Amino acid sequence: MGEEHLEAQAIVVGAGPAGLMAAHRLALEGLEVIVVERGQYAGAKNLSGLLYSTVLAQAIPDFSSKAPLERPVCKRGLGLLGPKDFSVLSFGSEKWTCPPHNHTWVVYRAQFDRWLASQVEEAGGTLLEGAVVEDLFYEQEGSFKKVAGVRIRGEEEAFRAPVVILAEGAVGLVSERARDSLGMRPGEKPQSYGLGIKEVWALAASTIEERFGLEPGCGAAMEWIGSPFKGLVGGGFLYTGKESLALGMIVKLESLVRAGLSPQDLMEGFKANPEVRRYLKGGELLEYGAHLIPEGGPQAMGQLCHNGLLIVGDAAGLVNASMYHEGSNLAMLSGRLAAEAVIQAHLLGDFSRKSLSLYERMLHESFLMEDLSRLKNIERAHLVFPRLMAELPSRFTGLLVDLFEQAQVPKKDIRKEAFRRAMDGMPKLRTLLDLWKMRRMMG
């Protein structure tokens, strides 16, 4: 590397949506920014569900004609699964079939993130792929201690910059070390996680459109809760790609550990459900993957900036773990806001915590924190969900099936018997209370 220090005006650690959006904004502003990614390419380690694109659309208005998007979601389904019965509420809108498609897309992140990285390069940013940031590089001590760059594995010299944006994702080793070394205030509660498992299945476009009842090019997103998840806090999803399906589940890790169940068995049980199985018929598995999702909400976030440092995206715990499961859009928002704070800091020549805390203030004023602050009760979900998740879906689908049973008895008796079976052994008050609590957890 010679005598000269490697130096940039900002370093971003991690080329996911949060880091790339930050870098994109900084590069457009004319700042010298470098994104360090440990994967062979941006997105190599990433996995996701749907992409909500409201923040992306602001930064790159014509993204939908350039980005590798699979299908827009024109139809959604929320379903309940019993061991043998099912029920689905399917809904959509003519509006969703036209641009901007309600800003809801099925994407494959290994492809999407790579494209977003190319946009950063086009804007003038630099990408350093296949390099592991081992730790941050610090200067000074005590309350003046500040981040002044990063240490890359295998390099003796630190890579310097007056400000570093940590966008490492859910497994944030450098963020953890940084919080310790800088004595950053931890969250009121430790972070808690959802475990996401995903399988990508190849299937012909025409078969997908036929099976889901879709116009050519349109997509669907199905989500289920119920008996395959054995009363754990979690559910399954199925999204349509162009010529593939993304099938998976998200289960609260703590509840999985407590129950002593393996994600593999749970996933296979979900896939074996007759309502789910039929979508995959004739398909071929292309890829399998797993990823953690930080779901602790604002109480687990703690301090997100310090002298010369900002933490964004999953590394900051910015996920809306309600029924919307919004992560990458919030990541992009936090990346953009962090970039705004860095731009201000460069103008003022002040990279202190006080200066960079503009980021935290902007976060708190955004829709993101409004959404997240409503999730405070989600931590207690496991107290309510086992009953609701295990019992209600099967009872409700059972009730529907029983109500339409055909026999040579008066319909009045069939209805009476159906309700008797559905309510058998269910204390009414507790059920209503559970439903009310769950409503509050939806955010």
Partner 1 sequence: MALEEKLYRVRYEVDPDHPHIRVKQELCSSCGRRVCTFICPAGVYVESPGDPGQIQVRHENCLECGTCRVACGCEGIIWDYPNGGMGVRYRFG
- Kindly state whether residue 180 participates in binding partner 1, applying the rule CB under 8 A: no
Does residue 20 contact residue 117 with C-beta atoms inside 8 Å? yes
How far apart are CB 211 and partner 1 at their closest, in Å? 20
Closest to partner 1 by CB, 253 or 422: 253
How far apart are CB 341 and partner 1 at their closest, in Å? 27
User: Angle at CA 107, nearest 5°, toward 105 and 112?
Assistant: 120
- Kindly state whether residue 193 participates in binding partner 1, applying the rule CB under 8 A: yes
Three-state DSSP state, 405: coil
- Kindly state whether residue 113 participates in binding partner 1, applying the rule CB under 8 A: yes
Q: Which of residues 228-257 bind partner 1 (CB under 8 A)?
A: 241, 244, 246, 253, 256-257
Q: How far is CA 377 from CA 146, 322, 382, in A?
A: 35, 11, 10
Q: Which of residues 197-216 bind partner 1 (CB under 8 A)?
A: 197, 199-200
Instruction: Name the phi and psi angles at 86, rounded to 5.
Output: -150, 160
Q: How far is CA 267 from CA 14, 223, 351, in A?
A: 29, 14, 47
How far apart are CB 28 and partner 1 at their closest, in Å? 26
- Kindly state whether residue 153 participates in binding partner 1, applying the rule CB under 8 A: yes
Residues 6+ apart with CB under 8 A from 14: 35, 36, 37, 38, 166, 167, 168, 169, 313, 315
- Kindly state whether residue 171 participates in binding partner 1, applying the rule CB under 8 A: yes
Closest to partner 1 by CB, 103 or 291: 291
Taking the C-alpha atoms of residue 417 and residue 387, their distance in angstroms, rounded to an integer, is 23
How far apart are CB 48 and partner 1 at their closest, in Å? 7
How far apart are CB 323 and partner 1 at their closest, in Å? 23
Burial profile 95-122: b = 16 or more Cβ within 10 angstroms, e = fewer: ebbeeebbbbbbbbbbbbbbbbbebbee
Closest to partner 1 by CB, 24 or 109: 109
Out of 26, 60, 131, 332, point to the residue binding partner 1 (CB under 8 A).
131
How far apart are CB 11 and partner 1 at their closest, in Å? 15
How far apart are CB 170 and partner 1 at their closest, in Å? 6
Closest to partner 1 by CB, 164 or 422: 164
CA 69 to chain centre: 17
Does residue 49 contact residue 238 with C-beta atoms inside 8 Å? no
- Kindly state whether residue 430 participates in binding partner 1, applying the rule CB under 8 A: no
User: C-alpha dihedral over 300, 375, 59, 364, to 10 degrees?
Assistant: -70
- Kindly state whether residue 381 participates in binding partner 1, applying the rule CB under 8 A: no
The span of 4-12, 127-135, 342-350, 365-373 binding partner 1 (CB under 8 A) equals: 127-135
How far apart are CB 152 and partner 1 at their closest, in Å? 8
- Kindly state whether residue 177 participates in binding partner 1, applying the rule CB under 8 A: no
Out of 170, 214, 222, 343, point to the residue binding partner 1 (CB under 8 A).
170
Q: What are 322's two structure tokens?
A: 């309600």
Closest to partner 1 by CB, 159 or 359: 159
Alpha helices in 30-128 (DSSP H): 54-59, 63-66, 109-122
How far apart are CB 379 and partner 1 at their closest, in Å? 15
CB count, 10 Å around CB of 34? 23
Q: Which of residues 38-97 bind partner 1 (CB under 8 A)?
A: 38-40, 43-48
Out of 157, 231, 263, 403, point to the residue binding partner 1 (CB under 8 A).
263
Does residue 366 contact residue 298 with C-beta atoms inside 8 Å? no
- Kindly state whether residue 260 participates in binding partner 1, applying the rule CB under 8 A: yes
- Kindly state whether residue 331 participates in binding partner 1, applying the rule CB under 8 A: no
The span of 196-204, 221-229, 366-374, 380-388 binding partner 1 (CB under 8 A) equals: 196-204
Length of the chain: 443
Out of 111, 126, 207, 344, point to the residue binding partner 1 (CB under 8 A).
111
User: C-alpha dihedral over 283, 284, 287, 290, to 10 degrees?
Assistant: 50
Q: What are 233's two structure tokens?
A: 């806090």
Taking the C-alpha atoms of residue 43 and residue 248, their distance in angstroms, rounded to an integer, is 19
Match 């099976």 to its residue by tokens.
211
Q: Which of residues 8-47 bind partner 1 (CB under 8 A)?
A: 38-40, 43-47
Q: For residue 198, what is the enclosing H or E element?
A: strand 193-202
Out of 109, 146, 179, 230, point to the residue binding partner 1 (CB under 8 A).
109
Please report, as ranges, the residues that interact with partner 1 according to CB under 8 A: 38-40, 43-48, 108-111, 113, 129-132, 153-154, 170-171, 173, 193, 195, 197, 199-200, 241, 244, 246, 253, 256-257, 260-264, 268, 271, 285-292
